[in-house]
Structure 1
């Protein structure tokens, strides 16, 4: 996978391929359907599969107060797309000059001149160019003029669900703590990232040391206790994740903290990624530390089961 941040010096090996343009935030199963189509088109034109994304999301410049919290950061997005078989992702710097291009100029400068694309794949709700004036009808006309094959891929719905899979719907599920629903829409369990900072240190006295995360730049799930795992230095560790306040000890400030199972050592100052597998329970007040400790033991056992299931190939495949 090649990750590019501009189009000044485009490697020859990513020219003349099949291209799709979009934000691809979260890389959900609907995105996977589009990637499947561009891979098919790439084979037909004997070229690479290219995903062109915007960094940051155009809404951040146009309507900053309406900017949705992201589901992925750039390198995570590239990693997920690579797993689907994409050859290159372009995280193009979004600026006013780009947003002021007409649909025709955008197509000519990006699709034709810079990437020399031979085929394109988009969803039916694709818009491009200044004020989103370009639509799939105009895209079809432009592709026909330049002898590009165009395929429009229909949205994907979850089985038994009339609503289509979308990044906004994934955000809604995560914000509501509906991790299992989000997992059914995503190609991989949802992850957030942050830096480990010093906490109250109370976890050590209870026998369950936690890593407290701050500087989180993606959406944080609703308050609750979750089963998941931590990604650290390309290794994974099962983890019980707590999001919210600690009312048992009179702490009202919400925190994101994770207890890594079967791990010893200091994590202060390290970046960590937390992946979410299931929601276990609400945050609640316990009568005393002994009652809280008893509940944490139950949570840890639930985490072990969820993590073991995730590592089981058959179970893991069913959740995708």
Structure 2
């Protein structure tokens, strides 16, 4: 997949194109339906498939107090889009200049000038341009003048209960620790990504050495608790019991941590490496134990349950 971070960097011969525009936070089932339709339309028209997205939620600039935590970081989003098989992504910096650009100017500069769009796909609640003045109706009017059609994709509903799939709903599920339901809406296990750093080494003292993700890890950290999942380093997946929280038994950690105890590995040296932690199922909530002995008993049980969940011996 080609990646452009400025419309001026798009080569003049990239188009014609079919374009999907959106935040694509999490690239959930609704987003994937939009991308899949784009791919189908691009094949039909003999055009390039291009996703247009942003380096942050526009609310981060416009109304920071109302901006939700992102489900994925920028690099995660780029990788997820690349995995869909699209031809290119235009990742725009949502800065003051872009926020103040009129909707009509955005269409002419990006969709017409840079991408030579022949079809543009958007979601039902799509808004763009200064003050959110642009919508699908404006796109359609401008498309008639500039030679592209517009399609508004319908919502995608959960097969389980018919509720509209959205990034907000997935955040609610992750906050509650329901990573299994979140995975069903995402189409994959939810993950966070970051560098493995040194911690307090308390897990090693207890017989359960952990790989600790840095505080600037990408991705939405689910609710406190212990999870079964995978630690992925350089395309190698290690089964892991994952702790999220502040270690309340010791009450000396001020910030939430993501720590992964890798099963059946005793000599891994992962410090300084980039890793992804993938959450499969929540085993239990986070509790403060009365003494180290009870904590060790519970951690041993956590490992047993992790094996069961991941179906490993």
TM-score band, normalised by shorter chain: over 0.9
Q: How does 1:1-320 map to 2 (within 5 A)?
A: 1-11=1-11, 14-213=14-213, 214-251=215-252, 253=254, 254-263=256-265, 264-308=267-311
Distance in 1, Cα, partners of 2:2 & 2:263: 35
**TM-score (norm. length: structure 1):** 0.90
The 1:57/1:249 distance shift into structure 2, 3 A limit, reads: closer
- How far residue 198 of structure 1 moved from its aligned partner, in angstroms, is 2.2
* Structure 1 counterpart SS, 2:246: strand
Q: What SS does the aligned partner of 1:14 have?
A: coil
Residues 298 and 155 (structure 1), Cα distance of their counterparts in 2 relative to 1, 3 Å cut: same
- Unaligned regions of 5+ residues in structure 2, if any? none
Aligned-partner Cα distance in 1 for 2:176–2:291: 28
Number of residue-to-residue matches in the alignment: 309
In the TM superposition, residue 252 of structure 1 has moved relative to its aligned partner by 5.5
Shift of 1:220: 1.5
Q: CA deviation at 1:34?
A: 0.3
Q: What is the alpha-carbon distance in structure 2 between the residues aligned to residue 56 and residue 203 of structure 1?
A: 35
Given that residues 17 and 118 in structure 1 are in contact (C-alpha distance below 8 angstroms), is that contact kept between their aligned partners in structure 2? yes
Contact 1:193 1:217 in 2 (8 A): yes
Q: 1:248 to 1:98 in 2, by over 3 A?
A: closer
Q: Distance in 1 between matches of 2:11 and 2:297?
A: 58
Shift of 1:96: 1.6
RMSD: 1.9
Q: Deviations over 1:234-260 (max 9, x none)?
A: 221111111113233344534321111
Does the 8 A contact of 2:56 with 2:74 survive in 1?
Answer: no
SS at match of 1:285: coil
Q: CA deviation at 1:125?
A: 1.0
Q: Contact 2:4–2:90 at 8 Å: present in 1 too? A: yes
CA distance in 1, matches of 2:296, 2:282: 19
Supply the distance in 1 between the matched residues of 2:248 and 2:102 (Cα, whole angstroms): 54
Distance 1:89-1:304 versus aligned 2 partners, 3 A rule: farther
> Which ranges of structure 1 fall in alignment gaps of 5 or more residues?
310-320
Distance 2:64 2:145 in 1: 36
SS in 1 for 2:289: coil
Give structure 1 regions of 4+ aligned residues with deviation exceeding 4 angstroms.
Answer: none
TM-score by length of 2: 0.92
Contact 2:180 2:189 in 1 (8 A): no
Tell me how far 1:25 sits from its aligned partner: 0.7
Q: Give the conservation status (yes or no) of the 8 Å contact 2:50–2:89.
A: yes
